[in-house]
Structure 1
Amino acid sequence: MVEVVVIHKWKDEQKDDVMGFASKVMEMAKDKKLPAGLKLNELYLAEKKNEAVCRWTVDSLDHLMETAKSFKPTWEIDAFEVDQKYKKGLF
Structure 2
Amino acid sequence: MNIEINDYDLLTDDKDGRSRCVLHTKDQIDLAFALYWKPKIFISNAGKSFPYEVYQPRPNDHLDSPHLHMRADRQFCLNEIIAVGDIITVM
Q: TM-score, normalized by length of structure 1?
A: 0.37
Task: Work out which of the two has the higher radius of gyration on C-alpha atoms and give 1 or 2.
Answer: 1
Greater fraction helix = 1
Structure possessing the higher relative contact order (Cα contacts under 8 Å, 6 or more residues apart)? 1
Greater fraction strand = 2
